[in-house]
Amino acid sequence: MKVTALAGGVGGAKLADGLSRLDQSLDLTVIVNTGDDFSLFGLQICPDLDTVCYNLAGLENSQTGWGRNQESWVALKEIQSLDGPDWFQLGDKDLATHLERTRRLREGQTLSQITADFCSSWGIGAAVLPMSDDPRPTFVKTDRGVLPFQEYFVRQGCQPAVQGFIFQGAKESAPAPGVLKAIRDADLIVICPSNPWVSIDPILAVPGVRNELKGQQVLGVSPLIGGAAVKGPAAKMYREMGVEPSAAAVAEHYGQLLDGFIIDNQDLVLAEQISEVSGGVLQVYTEDILMKNREERIRLAGQVIDIGKDLVKEI
Amino acid sequence: MKVTALAGGVGGAKLADGLSRLDQSLDLTVIVNTGDDFSLFGLQICPDLDTVCYNLAGLENSQTGWGRNQESWVALKEIQSLDGPDWFQLGDKDLATHLERTRRLREGQTLSQITADFCSSWGIGAAVLPMSDDPRPTFVKTDRGVLPFQEYFVRQGCQPAVQGFIFQGAKESAPAPGVLKAIRDADLIVICPSNPWVSIDPILAVPGVRNELKGQQVLGVSPLIGGAAVKGPAAKMYREMGVEPSAAAVAEHYGQLLDGFIIDNQDLVLAEQISEVSGGVLQVYTEDILMKNREERIRLAGQVIDIGKDLVKEI
């Protein structure tokens, strides 16, 4: 079964990891948001791509959700002693990823080539594709001005009130090699429980992606449980954008893109509402979607695939 | 007493460190070769500047001569696992220096501003000046072609036979702010026991430096003892350039630039020869010039200053 997942950071990485570890081996491709990418110390840093890869490789820090496990912080401590910026936590192992990626980019390799090589070094079986090899920075329009994503997200801790989003260069960007084909050839598309505004929307804004998705069976997993995000500012963003945050809001956000949508058991009351809003077109499923450990990732991934198979049959 | 030292890597750093730790406090400026500087992983690396600063700060790795003490190698190990280049040994602490320097350079700060800031963070009392804020890469002409310095020095382990040296951009480069003044105002100039070909000559090639040195009292310390270099390829270079390596060869190398020259006690027999070649103009002194530990650095530095004072009186 060919499965293509769209993913951002931590939540998406967890489900992608679960999908990659199912007993029934899938032909899995993960298309990852690169709108969060930025440059610091001259290094090209791709937070979502790294979070996905570290998780797929089993190298992730399960406490923080980002970065490497058994990480050390020697370089960062020295940077602090030189009064350098320490708002973005760069561990020593993580640094190596950015250093070698930057070196290869400067040599002329593309982000997708580099990512494929890194995945091979890390023993990752799934294909991990950046959404684009072109720079596609996300900016956040806020009450404190237009901020580069990491400035908003990490440096200002998501404090500014969001007014909108800019996906710079979206129209001119090309999908990375393999992205459109991975969508076209997939038996099932999974929209991972990532932030719709800043993790999934940037992928959907890549020219050609929405169009390819139209003919496909798309199953989403809600990033919101009980109106709150498991991690990150998704709920806060909905509120600031004038929408009551809930799994229903996410379903409406994706609209006709979705054929199926998995929400948490505790949001059972929303199931009917979501289905009704779609005119009965959208199939809504309830599961325990919180993934607190690797076993729960695999369990949810199994449910996603089971539901996906039903969905594919139905359609 | 105002003392200005010209220095390259390890040997120069040791004597500069000794000078900075004398009981009689000197007004010390160290002008450092930047011809070894290069870029790796997009980072600007200044090996001689860092070696001098780490030594002056007491942060140096006394085993290797370069790099930081109590260093860790987490990032490098990860770079290796990604099949990245590991020929240049970047420790985690050392990496922080290159990261923060690169960040500041990209912000538009000059190498001399950055170096001054770093010295302040590291508690260094001496003024450390890069010879130039302009890129001034040294290339080595060898039997294997023209090689960037670090390619020759580290990656190929000084194996290629040297045929000459290119100080790229020398004529167009400007001395860093303070360099000419530090020479002009000094009571004594010390040419540290650094490689004449690739550590000191690049400094002497900075426009204005030789001219300012002419009027000054210049005391050199031989980098060669018994015809061999304490560290590095200086002796091999002399041989390949058709000159028998010895303290006498170094004295001849610097020629009329020198007013005094300190050679090792074991080269006593050369003293008369060196003096004769100069027509009796050059004062030659013999000392134990090998610096095996910090105490010996300070001892030699004290002798350099004592001799320097005599020299200044005599002239």
How far is residue B177's CA from residue B182's CA, in Å, rounded to a whole number? 9
* Higher per-residue pLDDT: A260 or A279: A260
**CA nearest to B54, candidates B129, B127, B133, B122:** B122
Q: How far apart are CA A18 and CA A294, in angstroms?
A: 7
* Residue B315 clears pLDDT 60, i.e. is over it: no
| pLDDT (mean) for B133-150 | 96
Number of C-beta neighbours around residue B278 at 10 A? 18
Structure tokens at A9: 């950071």
CA nearest to A98 within chain B: B41
Per the structure block, which two tokens stand in for A222? Answer: 């809600």
- What is the sign of the dihedral through the CA atoms of A176, A178, A184 and A189? negative
C-alpha closest to that of B90 among B99, B101, B103: B99
Locate tokens 């290159």: which residue? B98
Nearest to B99 among A79, A83, A93 (CB): A79
- In order, the DSSP letters of chain B are -EEEEEE-SHHHHHHHHHHHT-SS--EEEEEE--TT-EEETTEEE-HHHHHHHHHHTT-B-TTTSSSBTT---HHHHHHHHTT---SS---HHHHHHHHHHHHHHHHT--HHHHHHHHHHHTT--SEEEESBSS---EEEEETTEEEEHHIIIIITTT-SPEEEEEETTTTT--BPTTHHHHHHH-SEEEE-SS-IIIIIHHHHTSTTHHHHHHTS-EEEE-SEETTEESSSSHHHHHHHTT---SHHHHHHHHGGG-SEEEEEGGGHHHHHHHHHHTTT-SEEEEE-----SHHHHHHHHHHHHHHHHHHHHH-
For chain B, what is the mean pLDDT? 96
Nearest CA in chain B to A92: B75
DSSP-derived letter for residue A118 is H
User: Which of A46, A71, A74 should we substitute to test contact with B (largest number of B Cβ atoms within 10 Å)?
Assistant: A74
Of all residues in chain B, what percent carry a pLDDT higher than 90?
Answer: 92
At B167-218, the pLDDT tens digits run: 999 999 999 999 999 999 999 999 999 999 999 999 999 999 999 999 899 9
Q: 3-class SS at A86?
A: coil
Stretch A226-237: mean pLDDT: 93
* Other Cβ atoms within 10 Å of A42 Cβ, number: 21
CB contact under 8 A, B96 and A78: yes
**Three-state secondary-structure class, residue A241:** coil
Greater confidence (B241 vs B24) lies with B241
Other CB atoms within a 10 A radius of the CB of residue A17 amount to: 25
Tokens standing for residue A284: 């809504």
Tell me A175's DSSP state. Answer: B
pLDDT above 90 (res A313):
no
pLDDT greater than 80 at residue B314: no
Higher pLDDT, B24 or A180: A180
Closest CA to B26 of B211, B298, B260: B298
Q: Which pLDDT value is given to residue B56?
A: 97
Task: Identify which of A43, A74, A106 has the shortest CB distance to residue B93.
Answer: A74
Q: Identify the pLDDT of residue A315.
A: 56
Which residues in chain B have Cβ-Cβ distances shorter than 8 Å to A42? Answer: 42-43, 99, 102-103, 106
Query: Taking an 8 Å Cβ-Cβ cutoff, which residues of chain B contact chain A?
Result: 40-43, 72, 74-79, 81-85, 92-93, 95-97, 99-100, 102-103, 106, 117-118, 121
A-B contacts at Cβ under 8 angstroms: 104
CB A77 within 8 A of CB A96: no
Query: Measured between alpha carbons, how far is residue B248 from residues B16, B158, B164, B272, B282 in Å?
Result: 23, 23, 20, 10, 12
Q: What is the pLDDT of residues A292-309, one digit of tens each?
A: 999 999 999 999 999 999
Q: What are phi and psi for residue B139, nearest 5 degrees?
A: -115, 145
The CA distance from A260 to A312, in Å, is 10
> Range with the lowest mean pLDDT among A23-27, B156-160, B235-239?
A23-27
The residue among A99, A102, A114, A119 with the most chain B CBs within 10 A of its CB, best to mutate, is A99
CA distance A192 to A232: 14
Compute φ and ψ for A287, nearest 5 degrees.
-150, 170
Instruction: Give A132-177 pLDDT, tens digit per residue.
Output: 999 999 999 999 999 999 999 999 999 999 999 999 999 999 999 9
Minimal C-alpha gap between A299 and chain B (Å): 31
The two three-digit tokens of residue B143, written as one number: 């039997």
The SS3 of residue A143 is coil
What pLDDT, on the 0 to 100 scale, is given for residue B154?
Answer: 92
CA–CA dist B165, B146 (Å, integer) = 9
Q: How confident is the model at residue A9 (pLDDT cuts 50, 70, 90)?
A: confident
pLDDT-based confidence at A288, cuts 50/70/90?
Answer: very high
